[in-house]
Structure 1
Amino acid sequence: MNFYFRLCEQALYSTRQSNSHENSHAISTRLRTFYFIFMTTIFTVVTLLPYRITALSKLLTTNTAKMRSCSSMALEWTCYFMVFLNASMVIKLCQVLLLSACFVSIQCACSWDSCNPVSNDPKMINVHLVPHTHDDLGWLKTVDQYYYGSVSRITRVGVQYIYNTVIQELMYNSSRRFSFAETGFLWRWWISHSPQDQDKLRQLIQNGQLEMIGGGWTQNDEAAAHYVDIIDQMTLGLRTLTDMFGDCGKPQAAWQIDPFGHSREMASIFAQMGYTSLSFARLHYAERDVRLKNKSMEMIWNTSEDLKTSLFTGAFYKYDYNPPDGFCFDVTCGDDPIQDNPDLGDYNAKQKIDQFLDHANAQMTNNIMLLMGSDFHYTDANMWYVNMDKIIQHVNERNINVTVFYSTPSCYYKAVQNYAQAQKLTWPQKDDDFFPYANRNHSYWTGYFTSRPAYKGMIRDASALMQLTKALGVMGNLGQNDTAAIQLENMASGLAQHHDSVTGTAKQVVTYDYQMQLHRGMFQANQIIGSFLGRMMAGDNSTSPNPVNANLCFIANETVCEASVNNPSFQVSVFNTRSRWANETIRIPYYFGNATVKGPGAGNYEIKKSFQIQTLTKSSTQYAPYELHFQVQIPPYGFSTYSIDSSSSKDSVRARKAHKVLATTTMENQYIVLTFDDSGALSQLKDKATNQVHNLQQQFMQYFGMDDQAPWHQPSGAYIFRPNASDPVDLGKPTHAEFSDGPLVKEMRQQFGSWIYQTIRLRMDKPYVEFDWVVGPIPTDAGFLRKANTSREIVTRYSTDIQNGDMFYTDSSGRQMLKRQRNYAPTYTYQNTEPAAANYYPLTNRIFIKDDKSQMTVLLDRAEGGTAHAGNIEIMLHRRCFFDDHYGVDEALNEPGKDGKGLVVRGSHYLVFGDPKTAASVHRPLAVDVFHKPVVSYLAKGTNTQAITQYSGLTASLPDNVHILTLEKWTDSSVLLRLEHIFQSDEDDQLSKPVTVDFGKLFTTFDVTSVKELMLGANRNATTSQIKRMLRVQKGGTIYAAFNFEKNFSDVLPTEPHANSDIRVGNQLENPASSRIKHNLV
């Protein structure tokens, strides 16, 4: 027996001499299992002797994919068997391989456990060739055009062919590696291919040749994407990978190589999901210069002061994620291949290898990662691998201090970590973020913070709606059809977070496709709400209730609602996805002059004559002449149903008219007094809580963009903000103003010329001022002495007497607040080449300024760009650019709108004044409320709502500082729950404290009996996963990240979206209105 073992070992070694970089760990693993396989073979051969060879051949053909449970390992095992058996038995032995496949696959290792050996000798340089492709889910073509390779006049690539050819090349040579990132494309390939093809891909991942990196549904943007959307799209992608590939489908390397700047909160999310590293390409050109000089391109990024988490982060040494110059071997490239036969013409091997070795320098460790690939590369993977094989062969033959081999991002960072520990290196630290991004001195990528503002608003609405439908799926225990509808909604929302989607940087026709898919996803909410209400209203009378015909008004922001236009009486169910009671005043389009509102907790109601916004009224014949405002009380994670009747009665109210402003006007509620001058312009705010009076002005202003002229040829465009002056031009005071009074809502309505309208609104019992603005279409004529078709960027500016100097604060992806300073950069010397653009930052949901006595916070209903000066906040609302900015889109940002004359956009800001010590107690919960606005669903006439008019999914409101971040059905027997502490640790004396939540008393429709806590991405068990992260520790070691539940209680820390809970369902819910079920939080 030992003799055969030695013969096989020698035979395998001889086949490996030509490839010095085979994974020694994998070889030793195979040899250790040989004895077991050998004995299994002897037994099986005897068993198979009676069978006909032809039958075995047929079976072998049928099961080829299964035989390759570890790709090339099938051939290596055949080597072993042929040593001791004659050739006539080969077919029988191949069948043995099939029967032994399960044993062989156990020995396969994920890519991070199958890394090629590297040297920690500082004199040796390890060059990691990382083959990869960056595949945008839409940009110049739609996501499906990119997948299929259609519309080839734009670019002749197809993602389906990339997967096909990469798989073929990896199976040809087991030493080769590859890394895929975008799960949304992988899913398309997966559902379009046979189980045999799926097995091939699965085998390559399970034997370590192919690594999934990033892992999100898409590679999301980090400036305009909200943290809730980021977590959702990451979860969608990670779950898909786990379902397909098991543990090897749980990425360890975060991969954000194309977004245009990077947020601290995004890095914090990765850290909480258990990633070991983060890679990206884009950082400010001045910071890149400093880091290259200091050899600090790799660093420890301190991602959260509250959670004390950090993440090892590496910026690429090139300014992009492309191959080294001269080494792009793609069909879309023009570089020469390596011609290494001296007997043939154009021999260039020596020159090419010398050129390649020039890239092996100036690193902090002795490991270098060279990216071999770029946008949609590897349509013909053979071209790449033939030439990379030659690079590896010819460099390693020189026997110098450089060794080259195939690698993956996780293997590279693993080698870097090991070297740093061996050499006792200390990594540089990073505390801020990577905004704003500029790749040269007049090219600041700060325009996309605002580009396509209507679409940005649509994305935010879709996200909030999806949180509702996912929760209804849990509380209503909805069936497969509804679950599939939620999944469609989830995929559409995930796609919208792509770094060329939510950013507004795709072509117009691609943006239409994004909008279509998002609307299709949002439309599923009608079905989900209808199914849920059907269950609620059936009571105990039916186990298979009929769904209710329920409809949302998707264009209510245009004062249009098709669901109520011809209905003098109707019912609405108003939903609340907050973790507390919602006491709100709802505003809906209304078509009648009288109204009576009845329902749970119904309070005051009033009708206002609609503000005649000409840019909206002329675009629709169904523009509602009135708006109905009525008070609602909605339980946490619940709904209340209200009936509205237009017939005249003793309880009905009539429409109120607005009056033209001719003198100084004041309006107030319990918290605020606002003063307006005789033009209707805002002039003063009094804070009743502090009794402080502040000067407060709001102005609309505009920047004029640079054109496409020498010497820089850098105009404003989809990506770039480059005005032709440092300060915007004031658009003046209102040209018309009217005041509308009322018991619930008071409004100052303003018009500025013919294309800007605004309503400044005070709601009763609300401590904020709402600015409801309508901008557009931005004129193409820029006025006297200016060229026609001059780009314009419209801003609003809130000016007050706060003494903030140059300091202001902006959010990071909607969660952490970061301190900013004008004309300053913490990690490089600020260069004043673009005074306006260089001081713009992404505002996902808020910005504030403060001094010792006062703080002014402005919250947003969508992502926008903004900045601050001494005493004021400036936010960009809308852009219309007439030049392409030369970063690939190849068309101007000139949205046509409904009538082709230009886009009209409507949005809201919420302004809060207060004491800096307590300001967070208002703006933190308000940010949640703005995101989770009540959802109004219109019920079909005749719907019987008597069975239940109010429902709550929670037994009581959660504490003010805790919020249910997400709640969704995970499997037929489990539920995924995330809790979030919404305060940072130093924001409030009381509300910043940790909170304990009792799961056993949380939900009304089910009981919690056990809990399994997961990491934030829901793909790893937080209590058992050995997730090694290079965290901020004093001596440069590693620590293990884990969280623990104790009994049914969970401690939630400040600014923590708490590790996920996998809630197991004990039995099926038949009637959520009357039954409680058991859930296991395993």
Structure 2
Amino acid sequence: MKYWFLSLSILFIKEVWGECGYASCPTPEPGYLNIHIVPHTHDDVGWLKTVDQYYYGYKNNIQRAGVQYIIDSVIQELLKDPARRFIYVESAFFWRWWGEQDLTMKETVRELVNEGRLEFISGGWSMNDEAAAHYSAIIDNMAIGIKFLQEEFGECGRPKIGWQIDPFGHSREYANILAKFGFDGLFLGRIDYADKDKRKSTKSMEMIWKAGEGGADGELFTGVNHNNYSPPPGFCFDTLCTDVIMDNKLLEDYNLDAKLEEFKAFATLQSNAYATNNIMLTMGEDFNYQDANMWYKNLDKLMKYMAEGKEEHKMNLFYSTPSCYLKAVKEANVELPSKTDDFFPYASDPHAYWTGYFTSRPALKGMIRKANSLLQACKQVEAKSAATEEDPRLMVAKRSVAVNQHHDAVTGTAKQHVTDDYYLGLHRGMEACHQIVTDALNDPSSACVVNEWCPLLNISQCAFTESRDAFTTVVYNPTPRTESFYVRLPVVDSVEYTIKDTADTENNVAYQVNPIPETVQIIPGRDSKARFELVFVAKVPALESRNFLIVKGTKAYTGIKKMDMKNSGKFRKVSIGNKMNQIEVEASDAEHYKIKLRSGEVKVEMGFSWYTPAVGDNSEWEKRASGAYIFRPNGTNSVPIGDPTGIQLYKGPLYDELHAFYNDWISQIMRTYHTPDNPMYNAVEMEWLVGPIPIENGGKEVVMEYSTADINSEDTFYTDSNGRGLIKRVRNFRETWDLDLTEPISANYYPLNSRIGIRDTSNDLWVMTDRSEGASSMKSGQVEVMVHRRLLFDDAFGVGEALNEEAFGTGLVVRGTHRVLLCGKNCDLESSVVAEQMFAQPVLQFGEACFKDFIDSIHNYREPEKEKKSLELPQTLKLLSMEKYAKSQILVRLENLNPVGGEVVPVNLDELFPGQTITSITKRTLDGNKDREEVYRARMNWTNNYYHPTHDNRIPRYDVYGKKSENSQLYIKNVNGKLIHRSGDFTVNIDAGFIETYLVTLQ
């Protein structure tokens, strides 16, 4: 009864005081410069302090910041005047604050939201980075924040505007993601200084970003803030600032008249950069409004005194929000330019290119990628469980990955103690996921429990597999097709093994035992006796697991052949590989070796080099140091490491392997697989090990180079956008302004999440990565990827520490993987499939070898397995996510990897839920929280409000409910907008290049 009364009271207030959203916006006045005053705070989800420290206001000796006090203070000030507005962004903080409030306060806040006085903008758990964040993690980060806001505040809590005011450059895919959420606009803070100057002079600070597939569905209004997100100079009215309006003429320091003139001058200056008679002033900064009274009291004065001279200066000030400002721009109906590329790289001055953070803290970036991959698998497993509600442990994992998408987390630009906290959160999230997987994959009636996981497999360490003569390994396949994976497990001895699969006990599973290079064995902190890796092929059906019983034998393993580079005392040329790829090794002298990768007629040379970082005190542009944010090499050429001084080659039944040793801090393993029935193994595997990086001369920035004289790529190369789609890059060129090449290396560096490629009329070369890295092509036929950096100087952009990562008393050692694909012309799709396979790694769990239970499971399992039809979707179809959304409802995202305009992929959703009955499916926005047709119908249409100066490549608008079958009409739409099947078949068609999101309701 109490809640019923509260609901009625909220509805009553909404009727009396007005509505949220555009309906609550103040009306601009024609004939005036309408100045939208937007109070806001920017609250980093970790940077100089940890998330907990920022929320509670702990360790203010590092930074004066306490988010709980900001929200407390703002709410109280909003209640004093219904004209006041405020926007809030970071859901991770608001969720914490909301959980501490009583029912009365929650009702009060809901009233403010319903009246449009408190508005949530963007809504992500964190304000994610756009360079180093993978698109799947971005979607999750935004989706969980929006879901929280929508559940607590209804439609008034759902954001309509993106607010990316602090990330260091902006990606096209992120804009596409927001468009697919149904957002109406996006506001940016940081773009290249030269780009911004050009836009100001041409009144093109606002545009329509043609960011993605689907014509208007992939377009988004985008505005660049005049002053990033800071207030006008002299108008920061916070406890962290020194500005104030003194309006008493009896005071010695009276400054009202001067302040009003300053304000009018700035407003006029800003208005000259925009196309309408509206401008937006961002009144806030980092962790502002801990005493909101200071801000509002001075802003009230400013608006009061400006109103008194309104007819003279023709300026109309009022409290507003970004959405209200966007509404005013839309209603002005001016012609806006369009944009098709992205905003990378970002430079804040001629010698400060923010391209170092593309690679900074590569170990953290690698762990974030693995945690995200595990999370997607974990959500699948949990979605198939019998529980009707989402497992609370899953939210631990979701939040940990979301926090790490923050623009000072995945970027590697936080202080070391904060980074340590990010690592801890990721580990806890991964542990929670493994617990969920354990519960789902184990038979409660069985004594054979598989409940261990090995978090240090990245350094070939696993105490469980090393200490047992027999054990069980469970392999879960997160892809929607049967897949074969090469599973690598650390073991102590090179002996024979017997490996059995529960689904095929008549044949032993193929395996190979390879030595672990000594450079891996001596990684600082590695506590392992393993000197070998047991590698076996695990063939696992789609979205299922397989148990493998592994028993150690006593005979020495003889299945591998070590190749000698000498023949009768003379050095020779040898090769290893398969039909597609050959690795050729030739001794250049007694101590050095040349390595080339050959595929057909194309040869690629591979090696390492480093850039010497610029050092300086940052007092002037020319004295800028390379740091966590900035990549600024001292010179225009990298320093080659040289050819390897040691080579070991091994040929085995499953794959061939080359160990190359360059010096005491760089080594490499190259592999070619003999039976690559998984597309990932078509590419050559490059496992690199770098560190501890020597720190003389200020440190080093290490790159891997791939060079070929057989591909004439000229000035062009291609990089992904957040791991999805490709953007054409042209060396020393910008699409929208003339580039002043003050930093010829870093100005040509771009972020990559999954791949970089070059091509000519005959061949392609692609390099796929296992984490986010910075990369470029500095000359024709060459690709370079920065893998690690260690620096002794700070770049003076706030973090206050040099990027000098250490672990176990020495410089950080990092181990990672590239895959190199040589293929025919325009093999975008092939490289995309390999990149996706690298992301969707199997989940491994371990347990004791339970022989009786294993044999019993064989007898009970074999016959049903023969009858069961396995899910087999094509390699071009990605199951982006599958997760519980609400009781009896599963959210499914499917992506067609084919290029736009390519092959349509049909998917029968029934096959994703064997043994269950689907009652309906509903198409949702990409975030999954809203009916897509409803949102798209209400979305702002900018079709007649923009132009492109050179071209118009719009794709026709995509049918909201997909294409109909050629043979029959599969769906009809009922009154609730749901899809119900007519022919007894829940087949949906996924257009090439599209992600489709479905809410599946089960019986």
Q: What's the TM-score once normalised by structure 1's chain length?
A: 0.84
Q: 640-649 or 374-383: which moved more?
A: 640-649
Say whether the 8 Å CA contact 2:765–2:820 is kept in structure 1.
Answer: yes
Distance in 2 of aligned mates of 1:685 and 1:476? 46
From 109, 114, 118, the equivalent of 1:210 is 118
Aligned to 2:951: none
Say whether the 8 Å CA contact 1:966–1:979 is kept in structure 2.
Answer: yes
Aligned to 2:167: 259
Aligned to 2:308: 397
- Given the alignment of the two structures, is residue 233 of structure 1 paired with residue 141 of structure 2, yes or no? yes
Aligned to 2:342: 433
Alignment of 1:377-416 (within 5 A): 377-400=288-311, 401-416=314-329
Distance in 2 of aligned mates of 1:130 and 1:410? 10
Alignment of 1:615-764 (within 5 A): 616-617=522-523, 619-648=525-554, 653-654=557-558, 656=560, 658-662=562-566, 663-678=572-587, 681=593, 683-687=595-599, 692-709=600-617, 712-764=622-674
Aligned to 1:185: 93
Alignment of 1:168-567 (within 5 A): 168-305=76-213, 307=215, 309-318=218-227, 320-335=228-243, 337-361=244-268, 362=272, 363-400=274-311, 401-420=314-333, 425-478=334-387, 483-534=391-442, 537-538=443-444, 548-567=449-468
AA partner of residue 662 (structure 2): F
Distance in 2 of aligned mates of 1:350 and 1:66? 53
Q: What secondary structure is seen at the aligned counterpart in 2 of 1:515?
A: helix
AA partner of residue 631 (structure 2): F
Q: What secondary structure is seen at the aligned counterpart in 2 of 1:909?
A: strand
Say whether the 8 Å CA contact 2:593–2:646 is kept in structure 1.
Answer: no
Say whether the 8 Å CA contact 1:118–1:126 is kept in structure 2.
Answer: yes
AA partner of residue 1062 (structure 1): L
Say whether the 8 Å CA contact 2:871–2:912 is kept in structure 1.
Answer: yes
Give per-residue Cα distances to partners, 1:380-433, cap 9 Å, x unaligned. 00000011111111111213221100000100000110012xxxx210111110
Say whether the 8 Å CA contact 1:735–1:752 is kept in structure 2.
Answer: yes
Shift in Å, 1:655: 6.7
Q: 970-979 or 515-524: which moved more?
A: 970-979
From 472, 486, 493, the equivalent of 1:571 is 472
Aligned to 1:15: none
Aligned to 2:761: 852
Unaligned runs of 5+ in 2: 567-571, 948-953, 963-970, 972-980
Aligned to 1:580: 481
Cα distance change on mapping 1:105 and 1:618 into 2, 3 Å: closer
Cα distance change on mapping 1:1026 and 1:1054 into 2, 3 Å: closer
Higher RCO structure (Cα 8 Å, ≥6 apart): 2
Say whether the 8 Å CA contact 2:892–2:999 is kept in structure 1.
Answer: yes
Distance in 2 of aligned mates of 1:511 and 1:771? 27
Shift in Å, 1:996: 2.2
- Given the alignment of the two structures, is residue 143 of structure 1 paired with residue 51 of structure 2, yes or no? yes
Distance in 1 of aligned mates of 2:910 and 2:517? 49
Cα distance change on mapping 1:279 and 1:237 into 2, 3 Å: same
Give per-residue Cα distances to partners, 1:53-76, cap 9 Å, x unaligned. xxxxxx9xxx9x999x8xxxxxxx
Give per-residue Cα distances to partners, 1:1000-1030, cap 9 Å, x unaligned. 3443242322111110011221122355445
Distance in 1 of aligned mates of 2:529 and 2:38? 57
AA partner of residue 938 (structure 1): F
Distance in 2 of aligned mates of 1:1021 and 1:479? 22
Distance in 1 of aligned mates of 2:194 and 2:717? 22
Q: What secondary structure is seen at the aligned counterpart in 2 of 1:805?
A: coil
Q: What secondary structure is seen at the aligned counterpart in 2 of 1:773?
A: strand
Q: 711-720 or 862-871: which moved more?
A: 711-720
Shift in Å, 1:629: 1.2
Cα distance change on mapping 1:847 and 1:1026 into 2, 3 Å: closer
Distance in 1 of aligned mates of 2:718 and 2:449? 46
Aligned to 2:747: 838
AA partner of residue 245 (structure 2): I
Aligned to 1:50: none
Distance in 2 of aligned mates of 1:1026 and 1:707? 51
Q: What secondary structure is seen at the aligned counterpart in 1 of 2:857?
A: coil
Cα distance change on mapping 1:206 and 1:605 into 2, 3 Å: same
Alignment of 1:100-115 (within 5 A): 102-106=11-15, 108-115=18-25
Distance in 2 of aligned mates of 1:322 and 1:1035? 29
Identity %: 38
AA partner of residue 723 (structure 2): G
Cα distance change on mapping 1:448 and 1:618 into 2, 3 Å: closer
Distance in 2 of aligned mates of 1:287 and 1:233? 29
Say whether the 8 Å CA contact 1:1028–1:1040 is kept in structure 2.
Answer: no
Shift in Å, 1:771: 0.4
Give per-residue Cα distances to partners, 1:86-110, cap 9 Å, x unaligned. xxxxxxxxxxxx9855433455411
Shift in Å, 1:686: 3.6
- Given the alignment of the two structures, is residue 1044 of structure 1 paired with residue 975 of structure 2, yes or no? no
Give per-residue Cα distances to partners, 1:849-890, cap 9 Å, x unaligned. 000000001100000000012111000010001000000000
Aligned to 2:974: none
Aligned length: 938
Shift in Å, 1:1061: 1.3
Alignment of 1:790-939 (within 5 A): 790-801=698-709, 802-868=711-777, 869-897=779-807, 899-917=808-826, 919-939=827-847
Aligned to 1:1020: 930
Cα distance change on mapping 1:550 and 1:99 into 2, 3 Å: closer
Cα distance change on mapping 1:797 and 1:258 into 2, 3 Å: same
From 944, 964, 968, the equivalent of 2:883 is 968
Distance in 2 of aligned mates of 1:162 and 1:279? 23
Q: What secondary structure is seen at the aligned counterpart in 1 of 2:657?
A: strand
AA partner of residue 848 (structure 1): G
AA partner of residue 483 (structure 1): D
Shift in Å, 1:286: 0.7
Distance in 2 of aligned mates of 1:254 and 1:1015? 15
Unaligned runs of 5+ in 1: 1-58, 70-97, 782-786, 987-991, 1067-1082
Say whether the 8 Å CA contact 1:324–1:370 is kept in structure 2.
Answer: yes
Say whether the 8 Å CA contact 1:111–1:408 is kept in structure 2.
Answer: no
Q: 704-713 or 264-273: which moved more?
A: 704-713
Q: What secondary structure is seen at the aligned counterpart in 2 of 1:1012?
A: strand
Q: What secondary structure is seen at the aligned counterpart in 1 of 2:211?
A: strand
Distance in 2 of aligned mates of 1:1016 and 1:160? 31
Q: What secondary structure is seen at the aligned counterpart in 2 of 1:1011?
A: strand
Give per-residue Cα distances to partners, 1:731-753, cap 9 Å, x unaligned. 01111110011010100101111
Distance in 1 of aligned mates of 2:432 and 2:451? 11
Distance in 1 of aligned mates of 2:437 and 2:707? 43
AA partner of residue 627 (structure 1): E
Say whether the 8 Å CA contact 2:480–2:872 is kept in structure 1.
Answer: yes
Distance in 1 of aligned mates of 2:340 and 2:167? 19
Cα distance change on mapping 1:326 and 1:615 into 2, 3 Å: farther
Distance in 1 of aligned mates of 2:613 and 2:39? 40
Q: What secondary structure is seen at the aligned counterpart in 2 of 1:595?
A: strand
Distance in 1 of aligned mates of 2:36 and 2:354? 31
Shift in Å, 1:604: 1.9
Cα distance change on mapping 1:160 and 1:1040 into 2, 3 Å: farther
RMSD of the TM alignment (CA)?
Answer: 2.4
Q: What secondary structure is seen at the aligned counterpart in 2 of 1:360?
A: helix
Q: What's the TM-score once normalised by structure 2's chain length?
A: 0.90
AA partner of residue 668 (structure 1): G
Give per-residue Cα distances to partners, 1:964-983, cap 9 Å, x unaligned. 11000112221111111112
